[in-house]
Chain A
Amino acid sequence: MDRTAYRQAGQRAKHARNALRNCRLCPRNCGVDRTAGHLGYCRLDDSNRCFREMLYCGEETGLNPSHQIYFAGCNLACEFCTVAEWNHCPQAAKKLNTEQLKLKIDQRKRQGAKTLNLLGGEPAVNLHGILELLAQLDCDTKVVWNSNMYYNGIVNDLTAGLVDVYLPDFKCGNADCAEKMLGAADYVEVVKQNILKAHRQGEIIVRHLLMPGHSDCCLKPILAWLAKEMPDVKLSLRADYVPPATAVASPPLYLEEEQRQAAVELAEDAGLNVIL
C-alpha cells in the first residue's frame, strides 16, 4: 500500500460508509440507504460479511500463497458463479469483525501468505468494511483487488494507492452475453474504463474465464481490446469453468483442453503476455 493512501484509509472508510446512505457504489445505482437497513441489488445493508478465509496456492504466479478473504454479496448475477449461494443470501455469512480478521491476517502471514486477496462475491460492494480493515493492517501488506470491476468511479478513488495488484475478472466481451449471463448489459463498457484506470494505478493481471462456445463473441473481442489498449498486460486465461447445474444462458459443457490451447494461441498471436 502507498503510505499516503494508507494514512488516509480510515478517513476513506468513513467516506465510503457515508456513501451508503444513497448507495451508488456500482452502476446499479440503487440509491437505497444501506445504513438504514435497506438492501441494494447486492442484498447488503451496511454490514460487511465474510464467508471464508483461506490460504490458497492456485492464484497466478507471484501471488501465492495468497490469503483469500471472501466477502458475501455481489452486484452481478452470474449464472455460473460457484459461490452464488453466498450472494443470494449474504446474511447467512458472519459479520465482519475487523479485530478478529486482523489477527487471522497476521497468522496467515506467519504461515507464508505473500498477498492479501480481497474477493467474494464482490469486494467493491463491501468497500467501507474493507477500508476499515486496511486502515488497521501493516502498510507493507500486499493487497490484491480480485474484483469483477463493475463499479462506479468512487470505488476507484477510494481504493487508489491501497491496492498493489488489480486482478480484474473480464468475463464477457459483448453486451448481449453480459446481459444474459451476468445480468448487466453495460458491463463491458464499465469494466473497460475501470481496467484502464487500474492499469494506470498499479500492477494488473487481467483474468478471463474461458467458456465453451464463447470464443468469437467474448474471448476474441477481449483479446483485441487488450492488445490495443494495454499490450503489455499480464493475461490469465482460466480454464476452470464449471457449468451450472441448470444452465439457461451459460454453456452447459466443461471446457476441453484443446479449447484452452486454442485460446492461449489466439492470445499469443495477438501479442499478449499469457501467464499461469
Chain B
Amino acid sequence: MKNKTYKRKPGDFELRILADGRLVMVAPDESLLQIAKVLQPNNEKLSHQMKRGQLCPTHNR
C-alpha cells in the first residue's frame, strides 16, 4: 500500500470505520443514505448522531 494519504476525487465516496466502532459516511448521496437506513433502521436523525458504535452520515461544507 502506498504511504500517501488518499484524496477523494469527484464521484468518490468515503466511508470511515473509527476505532470505537463508529461507521462514518462522509457526505453520502441518496443511495448511501438508503444503505444507512437499512443498517440502522431505528435512527431517524442519523446526521446528528455521534454516539459510540452508531452509524453517522455527515455533511460539513
Residues of A whose CB lies within 8 Å of any CB of B are 51-52, 54-58, 74, 78, 80-86, 89, 92-93, 119-121, 148, 169, 209, 238-242, 245-246, 254-257, 260, 276
Contact = CB atoms under 8 A, between A and B. Distances in A.
Contact of A58 (B6, B29, B45, B50): B45
A120 B60 CA distance: 11
B50 A240 contact: yes
A241 B27 CA distance: 11
A121 B7 CA distance: 18
Contacts of B18: 254
B2 interface: no
Given A54-B29, A83-B27, A255-B50, A238 B60 contact: yes
What bracket does the count of chain B residues touching chain A fall in? Answer: 20 to 34
Interface in B8-61: 8-12, 16, 18, 24, 26-27, 29-30, 33, 44-48, 50-51, 56-61
A209 B27 CA distance: 15
Given A81-B61, A119-B61, A92 B29 contact: no
Nearest to B9: A85
A85 B12 contact: yes
A89 B50 CA distance: 30
